[in-house]
Chain A
Amino acid sequence: MSAPQIPNLLASRGGPRSRGGRGRGRGGGSTHAQNRKDLDVQATDTDAAVSRLSAVSLGYFNDPSATYFVNGAGTRRLPIINRGTYTRTTALDILINAFLSESNDTPPQKRQIISLGAGTDTRYFRLRATNKHRNLIYHEFDFPSVSTTKSRIVASNESLSKGDGNATLFVEPKKPTESDSDPDPEWGFRDLREGESETIYCCHPLDLRRLPYAPSMKELNSFHGIQSDIPTLLISECCLCYLETDNARDVVKWFADRIPSLGIVLYEPIGVDSPFGQTMVANLAARNITMPTVKVYKNLRDQKDRLSEVGFTDSDGGQGGETIERIWDQWVSPEEKERVDSLEGLDEVEEWQVMARHYAVVWGWRGSGWDSWKELL
C-alpha cells in the first residue's frame, strides 16, 4: 500500500546475538531455517510497534511511550489498520481495567499480569502513566534478542527508566543450566512497597516454546518475581498463534498448573477458511509466517472450547469471546466512535467488516477474583 515496508529492526539488532540457535533445543540443518523463521515472527513485533505509533500519532489513543520503540519517525498506516489497532487495544484495555478494578477492595488485592510474546509492547508503561500499576506485578516473556533490545531501549530512555518515582531498573543474572550455559539476564523495575523492595515489572528472556519441556523450568520460582498466590492474567496478543497447537496448549497449561486464580486473554485471527482467511494465510506464508493454531481454532466456539479444555471451565470460571467487528460495534460508545471516525474517515466499511470479522478477542478465567469479568458478559 502507501506505506513502504519498515525494515526488520529487531532482527538486525538481535541477529548477531543469536549465536547459532543457542538454547533453542533444535540441532542440525533445520537450525538455520528455524532461526530465520523465528526472526520473521519477531518481525511481527515491529509491525505492531509501527502500527501502534501510527494510531497514537493520529490521536486514536494515548501512549506517550509508543514513539520510543520505533526507529525513526514511523509510518502512517491506512485508516483500516489504525482502527484495528485502536479496537484491539480498546478491547484489551476494557478487560484489563476490569481485572485491575477489583483491586479497589480493601485491603487492596495485589494482582499480576503475564504478557506472552510481549515484544516491545508498551502496555506496562501505559498502565504506569495512568497510575493503574500500584497493586500490580507485570511480567513479560519474549525471545532473548527481543528482550535485550527492549532492555536497551528502556535503560537508555529517562522517561521510561526513571518515570516512576523511586522505582529502579534492575538486571538479575540467571543461573546457567544444562541447555544454556550463558542465559540472558532477567530485568525490570523494583520499588519499595510497604517498606519492602519488590519487583513490580520483569522481563524474562525465553523462547516460550521451551517453557513446558525444560527440566530447569519446572517451578514457577525459576522465574524472578512471579507469584502463584495472587489473581493472575495471561495475555497473548498474536503470540501463541505462532506456536504449534500442542506447544501453545502446553504453555498455557504450564501456567494453569501453577497458578490457581488465573485468567487469560487471547487475540488472534479466526475464520481462515473464508476467501479472506485463505488470502491471509497465503500472504503471511509469503512472509514466512505460519499460524498453526488458527487452522485448528477456526471460530469463536473453537476458541472458547480451547480455553475450557485447559481449565477455564464453566464449573470454576468461564469464557467469552467477540470478533473485533463486534467489539467495535458493541463495546465502543457512539460518542467515541464519532471521535475516532473524525480522525481520518474510514471510507471502506465493507473492507473493515470483512477484516475485523477475522480477528477475535477470547478470554477465560477460573478461581476467585474475576467477578468484574462475569459482569462483562
Chain B
Amino acid sequence: MSDLDRAIAQLRACRPIPEAQVRELCHKARELLIEEGNVVTVTAPVTICGDIHGQFHDLMELFRVGGDVPDTNYLFMGDFVDRGFYSLESFLLLLCLKVRYPDRMTLIRGNHESRQITTVYGFYDECLRKYGSANVWRYCCEVFDYLALGAIVLGASTSLGESKGLRPENLSSTQQDDEGIEIELLNHTGGVIDRFPRGQARNGARSSPSTKSSSSPAAKTGPPDPAPGPQARSTARRSNVRSPLVRPRRDRRLGPLPARAGFLFGADIVKVFNHANDLSMIARAHQLVMEGFKEMFDNSIVTVWSAPNYCYRCGNIAAILELSEDSSGESMLARSNGDVNRSDGGVMKGNDKVLLAGPARRYRVFQAAPQDSRGMPAKKPVADYFL
C-alpha cells in the first residue's frame, strides 16, 4: 500500500492526514494541474457533480450512489470547501483521488476555492482548528490557484445506456416517453427506489424536454468560459463573458447581480453562448436548487447541486448528472484551438437559431446521509437559526 493509498483510506474514514503529508500532496497536485489547461477536456462517460461544501458524509453518499473512483469517471464543478464541518477531509480526499487517478477525476474551481471566501465561510477556521496553524489552508489555496476553470465533455451519447441500478418492476418500457432523460431516486445504499422518464418528473425543471435529435458533440460544464467549440463557427470573445454565474431570469436582458458578485445572464445569452461555442448544453453549479438539479432555458443549461440538506439546514435533495458514452463514435470530434472559421464574436443572426439537442442524461437524485453515519453526537447543535 502506497502512502497515497494509505492517505486515501485515512481520509475516507474522515480522519485528517498530517500536515507534512498535506504539503506533499498539494505539491504533487500542483505538478499535475499545471500541465492541464484552464479549460480541460473530458471524455464521456462521465458523472458531473455540483457543490460539496465540506459535507463529507454526503460526499460518501455521492460515491455510493454514483460509483467509486476509479470505476466511475468524475467531474466535480467546485465548491468543495466552506459551510460544512469537513471541508478539509472532503477536499483532501478529492485531491488524493485526483493525484491517484488523474484520468478519472477532474476538479474545477468554484467560487469558494479562493482565499477571500474561505476566510469568511469556514474553511480557514476549520484548518486553524484542526492543525493549529494556517499552513494547510495555505497549501490548499495554492492548489486552488491551479484548478481548471471549466471543462468540455466530448463524446456524450444522445441515448441512455443501461443503468447500473435495478429497474423497478412497476415501470414498463412503454412509459419511457423521453428516452433521453431519466431520473432515478436512490436510497442511502445506492439502490434505486424509483425511476421515471423525464415526462413524469414532478421534481426538477418544468420545461419540456427536447433531446430527440442526433448530433451532440459536447456538453460543457462549469463556468461558461469562452473556449472555442470543435467546429467553431463563431467564438465568444473573452471580454464578452464576465462571470461564471448564470441565474434564472425570465426576461431577456442581462445586468449586474444584486450582490455585485457578477452578471446576471438570461436565456438569450446562454443560447448565443452555446451556439457560438458549438455546445449543446452547459452544466453549472453553485446555486442551490431544492430538487437537486434544474434544467432551464429550453434545456440549454442545467444546474447540478450535490450537497443534500445544504448546511445541514435547507432540507433539499441532491443530484449528480451521468452522461454516457457514445458507442457509435460519431460524436467524437477533434477540437481545434486555432482561429479557423472564427466569425463575428457570437452575434446570432435571425435565421441562425438552430440549437443542438443536449446529450442523454441520467440524474441520480439522493438524500443526505443518515444521521448515524455522520459520527456526530445527536445532541450537537448542527445549524444556526434565527432564535
Contact = CB atoms under 8 A, between A and B. Distances in A.
Interface of A: 1-5, 44, 47-48, 51, 77-79, 81, 84-85, 88, 238, 269, 274-280, 283-284, 286-288, 324, 337, 341, 344-351, 354-355, 359
Given A276-B315, A279-B315, A346 B259 contact: yes
A345 B261 contact: yes
Given A2-B126, A351-B311, A351-B314, A275 B290 contact: yes
A344 B120 CA distance: 8
A349 B258 contact: yes
Contacts of A88: 386
A280 B385 contact: yes
A324 B385 CA distance: 13
B295 to A, nearest CB: 16
Nearest to A351: B288
Contact of A81 (B129, B261, B386): B386
A275 B315 contact: yes
B38 interface: no
Nearest to A342: B260
Interface residues of B, number: 39
Nearest to A83: B386
A290 B238 CA distance: 53
A238 B382 CA distance: 19
A276 B288 CA distance: 13
Interface of B: 83-85, 111, 117, 120-122, 125-126, 129, 247, 258-261, 287-290, 309-317, 378-387
B387 A48 contact: yes
B290 to A, nearest CB: 7
A344 B259 CA distance: 10
20 contacts: A1-B85, A2-B122, A2-B126, A4-B129, A51-B384, A51-B386, A78-B121, A275-B290, A275-B314, A275-B316, A279-B315, A280-B315, A286-B380, A337-B258, A341-B258, A345-B261, A347-B111, A349-B259, A351-B288, A355-B314
Q: Which of A44, A275, A359 has the most CB of B within 10 A?
A: A275
B117 A347 contact: yes
A341 B288 contact: no
Contacts of A47: 384-385, 387
10 cross-chain pairs, A with B, having the tightest CB-CB distances, nearest first: A275-B315, A2-B122, A279-B315, A350-B288, A44-B387, A84-B386, A276-B315, A2-B125, A47-B387, A81-B384
B259 A354 contact: no
A113 to B, nearest CB: 21
A92 to B, nearest CB: 12
Contacts of B111: 347
Contact residues of A: prevailing secondary structure: helix
A359 B387 CA distance: 10
Nearest to B287: A350
Given A275-B315, A279-B314, A284 B258 contact: no
A77 B310 contact: no
Contacts of A345: 120, 259-261
Nearest to A87: B386
Contacts of B378: 286
B313 A280 contact: yes
B381 A85 contact: no
A337 B259 CA distance: 9
Nearest to A359: B386
Given A275-B314, A276-B315, A350-B288, A287 B259 contact: no
Contacts of A359: 386
B138 to A, nearest CB: 18
Given A341-B260, A345-B261, 13 more contacts: A5-B380, A84-B386, A274-B315, A279-B315, A283-B312, A283-B385, A287-B381, A345-B120, A349-B258, A349-B259, A351-B314, A354-B290, A359-B386
Contact of B309 (A77, A274, A279, A337): A279
Contact of A355 (B85, B129, B313): B313
A276 B314 contact: yes
Nearest to B247: A349
A169 B56 CA distance: 53
Given A1-B122, A48-B387, A81-B386, A347 B261 contact: yes
Contacts of A337: 258
A208 to B, nearest CB: 17
A286 B382 contact: yes
B288 A348 contact: yes
Contacts of A274: 315
Contacts of B261: 345, 347
Nearest to A50: B384
Nearest to B125: A2
A81 to B, nearest CB: 5
Contacts of B125: 2
A76 B122 CA distance: 11
A3 B379 CA distance: 17
A242 B380 CA distance: 20
B315 A278 contact: yes
A77 B384 contact: yes
B191 to A, nearest CB: 22
Q: Which of A1, A286, A350, A355 has the most CB of B within 10 A?
A: A1
